[in-house]
Amino acid sequence: MATILIVDDERIVREILKESLSRAGYETFSAKSGKEGIGVFNSKRPDLVLLDLMMPGIDGLEVLKEIRKIDKLVPIIFLTGSGSTEAEIKGMELGADDYISKTAKESQIHARIKRALERQKVSNSLSSSKNESILDIGSAKIDFSNLSIVLEEGAVERLTGVEAVILRFLASNREKFFSTQEILASLHSEYRNTGDVSSLRSQISRLKSKLGPSGKLLLCARNIGYRLSRSQEHLETEI
């Protein structure tokens, strides 16, 4: 049974979520403030966190920062109200996995949680792998043991489970261009919902950005697919 921590200063929100998630088969813990949420996280180590973005005192962004110091992989989904777009973007940059409106339907909230937990399963399998835990892409080093990208200048980027699967698949044969359908098929073994061509393009685009200068080695060929090159011998073309 997966465990979920709900951090929200509104009692009614906590109670509704606890009842809904309990019916769905999850064990829940709750906290009414950011400070209490950090304490409960430390003691219970839940499988996922539902975190209110706007709270008095220690807000959701500060709680996110503290949790990420302890655990870089646990899925964190922000619960948001209206008019918090800038904070939502900041939260994603700091390591949140998703965000959803407090007014969303129960089915939507459950679907987001299910998807985040499925991604975490992939992250755990990658973290426990003993073989090929480090992948060099130009000057960037991919560390699958903690799902991170270490750039030449020392900066560190967080790698999602989906991105890790994509990189592993492309690295399995650096002499070959893989079609979008082949890559999506590789994701199908890990995820029930593999996404589509458009979502894959977005994932590749984010990966290229995270890889910094080494992103040039993630090549795109129109009507052919994607390739992870060993060198900058090929020029990139847009699909």
The per-residue pLDDT string of the chain (239 residues; one tens digit each, 9 = 90 and over) reads 899 999 999 999 999 999 999 999 999 999 999 999 999 999 999 999 999 998 999 999 999 999 988 887 788 999 987 556 677 677 777 778 888 888 899 999 999 899 888 777 655 555 554 445 788 999 999 988 778 899 988 888 888 878 888 898 898 888 789 998 888 877 765 554 456 777 788 889 999 999 999 999 999 888 889 999 876 554 444 34
**Residue 5 confidence (pLDDT):** 98
Q: Do 7 and 52 form a contact (C-beta atoms < 8 A)? A: yes
Which H helix or E strand runs over 225? Answer: strand 225-228
**Residue 48 backbone dihedrals phi, psi, to 5 degrees:** -155, 150
Q: For residue 218, what are the β-bridge partners?
A: 228
Q: Which of 54, 76, 61, 57 is nearest to 6 (CA)?
A: 76
Q: Do 147 and 127 form a contact (C-beta atoms < 8 A)? A: yes
**Residue 237 confidence (pLDDT):** 41
List the helix and strand counts (H, then E) for the chain: 8, 11
**pTM of the predicted model as reported, rounded to 2 decimal places:** 0.59
Please provide the DSSP assignment of 60-91 as one string: HHHHHHHHHHH-SSS-EEEEE-TT-HHHHHHH
Longest dimension (CA), the chain: 59
Question: Which domains are assigned to the chain?
Answer: 3-127 (3.40.50.2300), 134-228 (1.10.10.10)
